[in-house]
Amino acid sequence: MVEKRLALVTGAGRGIGRGIALALGQRGWFTVVNYRSNQAAADETVEAVRHAGGAAAGLQADISQDADRRALVETLLDRYGRIDLLVNNAGMAPRQRLDILQTTEASYDEVMATNLKGPFFLTQLAARSMIAGLEANVYREKPMIINIGSISAYTSSPNRPEYCISKAGFGMMTLLFADALAKYGIAVYEIRPGIIETDMTAAVTTKYDALIAGGLTPIQRWGQPEDIGKAVSALADGLFPFSTGEVFNVDGGFHFRRL
Ligand code: NAP
């Protein structure tokens, strides 16, 4: 059984997930850095967390695959005994942005499996283990689940509809698990990042640079992975004990209407 509180952060090798792993590591968490294929990046994250004074270990699993999800949770429970925090961060944009009239079924299936079906069934496995752990008194503090959603849950981008649909469904997934797990004392939150500077947005840098400069967001800058890391840490500290199912917008103010 690991002494420190243990966080499983999916897709933590790069981008936002790395920012979350670093922030949690700095606050004394043991962070399991899950990744799909880029082991070098995951190793760098693990090293960066350790350098910042935290503890971390990498664990490969493709969360879109049932066998991988099961192996991930089983390995983690065997090695460390419990999951204190699951951060559902792993996600993908369509490999190619195609207009809604051209979207392919293959892209739709891939994006939905990664962004919605995978996190849904991973959360189911993790939540079952959390309930069993609570019944066996292995927790000092209540476990928690944090979902990294997107402004795309409510913003129309007809050139990547499968992504928007996955994130809209993900929002309902937050509510459903929050509702079902409240009676166990397991809070479920969603963080909705705005435009964040990562590999995912690298292909549209010029477009977003212009939009931000043109006043798209009241806070006129790109978001950074550390902005999301700070938000996750704040929730993980457990300072919102009478809230669950809550959406926290970390988007420079993108979400509100302006006149
Ligand atoms: P990113 O830079 O493309 O990194 C994605 C990470 O997810 C990588 O570590 C990747 O692993 C991992 N991953 C992808 N598919 C996976 C799978 N099937 N199983 C396990 N890991 C997988 O993306 P990001 O910008 O950091 O995005 C992170 C999350 O934030 C996503 O859910 C995204 O939708 C959301 N988000 C991003 C933005 C933004 O502007 N960037 C805005 C709103 C929401 P490998 O390194 O092994 O490939």
Q: Is 31 in the pocket of ligand 1 (CB under 6 A)?
A: no
Strand pairing report for 144-148 and 6-9: unpaired
Assess contact for 9 and 87: CB atoms under 8 A.
Answer: yes
Tens digits of residue pLDDT in 11-46: 999 999 999 999 999 999 999 999 999 999 999 999
In percent, the amount of the chain with pLDDT more than 90 equals 99
Give the pLDDT confidence score for residue 95 in this predicted structure: 97
Determine the Cα–Cα distance for residues 219 and 233; give it in Å rounded to an integer. Answer: 21
pLDDT at 54 > cutoff 80 = yes
DSSP notation for 203-254: TTHHHHHHHHHTTSSSS-S-B-HHHHHHHHHHHHTT--TT--S-EEEESTTT
Domain spans, the chain: 6-250
Asked whether the predicted pLDDT for residue 2 surpasses 90, the reply is: no
**Residue with CA closest to ligand 1 atom 36:** 150
Tokens of 116: 């919605």
Using alpha carbons, list the distances in angstroms from residue 58 to 28, 76, 146. Answer: 17, 11, 19
Domain 6-250 has CATH 2.40.160.20: no
In terms of Cα–Cα distance, which of 97, 187, 193, 112 is closest to 150? 193
224 CB within 6 A, ligand 1: no
Kindly report each contact of residues 73-78 with a partner whose C-beta sits within 8 Å and lies 24 or more positions away, as own/partner. Answer: 73/122, 73/125, 73/126, 73/129, 76/6, 76/8, 76/32, 77/129
Q: Which of 22, 36, 112 is nearest to 69 (CA)?
A: 36
Closest ligand 1 atom to Cα of 197: 41
Backbone Cα Rg of the chain: 18
Q: Is the CB of 229 under 6 A from ligand 1?
A: no
The alpha carbon of 92 and the centre of ligand 1 are apart by a number of angstroms equal to 5
- Write out pLDDT tens, residues 158-198: 999 999 999 999 999 999 999 999 999 999 999 999 999 99
Q: How confident is the model at residue 3 (pLDDT cuts 50, 70, 90)?
A: confident
